[in-house]
Amino acid sequence: MLSRFERNISILGRSPRTFDNYSRHVAAIALHFQCLPTDLNPEQVKDYLFELQKRSKTPSQTYFKYTVYGLRFLLKTESLPYEYLQLPSIPKSKKLPVILSREEIWFMLQSAKLLKHRLLIGLLYGCGLRCMEVRNIRLKDMDFHRKLLHIVQSKGKKDRYVPLSEHLIRGIQKYIAAEHPKDYLFHGQSVETAGGDFDSRYSQRGVQWVVKTIARQAGIIKDVHTHTLRHTYATHLLEDGVNIVSVQKLLGHANIETTMEYLHVCQIPEQLPQSPLDKVFTLCSRSGK
C-alpha cells in the first residue's frame, strides 16, 4: 500500500516531500488504531480528527489538515471514494498575506552582516523566489550578461526566467570570488538523504532562520517568513505598474486567480482611497477652525 501511495504521488507530479508529509500523517492514524488506514471506519476517523482539533494550538490546524489530505490521497490510490471514510472538506484560508514596505526591505538588507545573508534576502525579494528555488540556484542558472536568473523545474515542474538586479549581480560575483562555490550558489553542511545521496545545498531551515533572524534584527514586528518576501515582490511590482499577466509569469503561477490575490493588498496611487479624516483636517485648517 505504501509503495502504491508513493508511486501515485510521484506520477501525479507531487514532490517527495509531499509523500513524506502525507505518509507520516497517515502512518500516525494507522499506528493509533493499530490497523491499515483503509480498515478504519468513519467514526474512528472522526474521533481521531476531533482529538487533533482539541490538541491544535494554531489557527490553521496544520496537523489536522494534512491528515485529511493524506487520507484523501490514499483513498484515491486505493480506488476508494472520499465518502468511504466520510472525510471533511478543508476550507481554504482567506487571510491576506503580510507585506513589507520598501523601507523594511532596506532595513533587512542593512541588518544582514554576512554577504551570503544579504544575497539570500536580495534574491528572495528581488526575484520573488520560493525557499526551494533560492536553495536550488546553480551557477549555470545565472546569466549576468542578460541579467536573468533561470528557475529550473520549480513548482509544477515548470521553468521560468526572472530579471536579476545589477546590485544582486555585483554581490553574487563578489560572493563567488570569495567562496568559490562549485555547483549550487549556496552550500550548507552535506546531509545524507533518504535515498542514500548527499545534499550539499543550504538547508530549508537555514534559509528560514536567516530571514526570521534578520527581520528581528531590523526591528520589524510583522510575522516575516521566506514567503513574505515573495508576497512583497509581487505586491511592489503591481504598485509599480507591472501588469498582472507579467507578474503571474514572473511568479510562475499556473492560474492568474492566484496572482490576483495580491490586488487586495497592493496600493496603486491613482486608486488609493484617502481617509475622510484627512479631508476634515485639510478643510478646517484652511478655514482657521
pLDDT of residue 289: 54
What are 216's three cell numbers? 528581528
pLDDT confidence bin for 189, thresholds 50/70/90: low
What is the CATH code of the structural domain delimited by 102-269? 1.10.443.10
Most confident among 40-44, 79-83, 257-261 (mean pLDDT): 40-44
Q: Which three cell numbers stand for residue 122?
A: 536580495
pLDDT bin (cut points 50, 70, 90) of residue 277 is low
6's CB contacts (< 8 A; 6+ apart) are 19, 23
Percent of the chain with pLDDT over 90: 51
How far is residue 99's CA from residue 230's CA, in Å, rounded to a whole number? 9
| pLDDT single digits (tens) 46-60 | 999 888 888 766 545
Can you tell me the distance from the alpha carbon of 142 to that of 287, in angstroms, rounded to the nearest whole number?
Answer: 60
Q: Which residue's C-alpha cell is 492560474? A: 255
- Look at residue 82 and tell me whether its pLDDT is greater than 80: no
pLDDT of residue 163 exceeding 70: yes
| Average pLDDT over every residue of 104-133 | 95
Please give the positions annotated as active site.
Answer: 130, 155, 227, 230, 253, 262
pLDDT-based confidence at 43, cuts 50/70/90? very high
- Whether residue 250 contacts residue 261, with contact meaning beta carbons closer than 8 Å, is answered with no
Burial of 260 (0-12, 13-18, 19+ CB in 10 A): middle
pLDDT for residue 283 is more than 60: yes
- Give one DSSP letter per residue of 180-232, joined into a string: --SSBSSEEEEEE-TTS-EEEEPPHHHHHHHHHHHHHHTT--S---HHHHHHH
Q: What is the mean pLDDT of residues 128-133?
A: 94
153 pLDDT band, cuts 50/70/90, is confident
d(CA 101, CA 166): 21
Cell of 6: 508513493
Predicted confidence (pLDDT) at residue 191 exceeds the cutoff of 60? no
The answer on pLDDT for 287 being more than 80 is: no
The conformation of residue 288, written as its DSSP 8-state character, comes to T
Q: What does the alpha-carbon distance between residue 14 and residue 143 come to, in Å, rounded to a whole number? A: 29
- CATH 1.10.443.10 segments of the chain: 102-269
**Which pLDDT does position 195 carry in this prediction?**
44
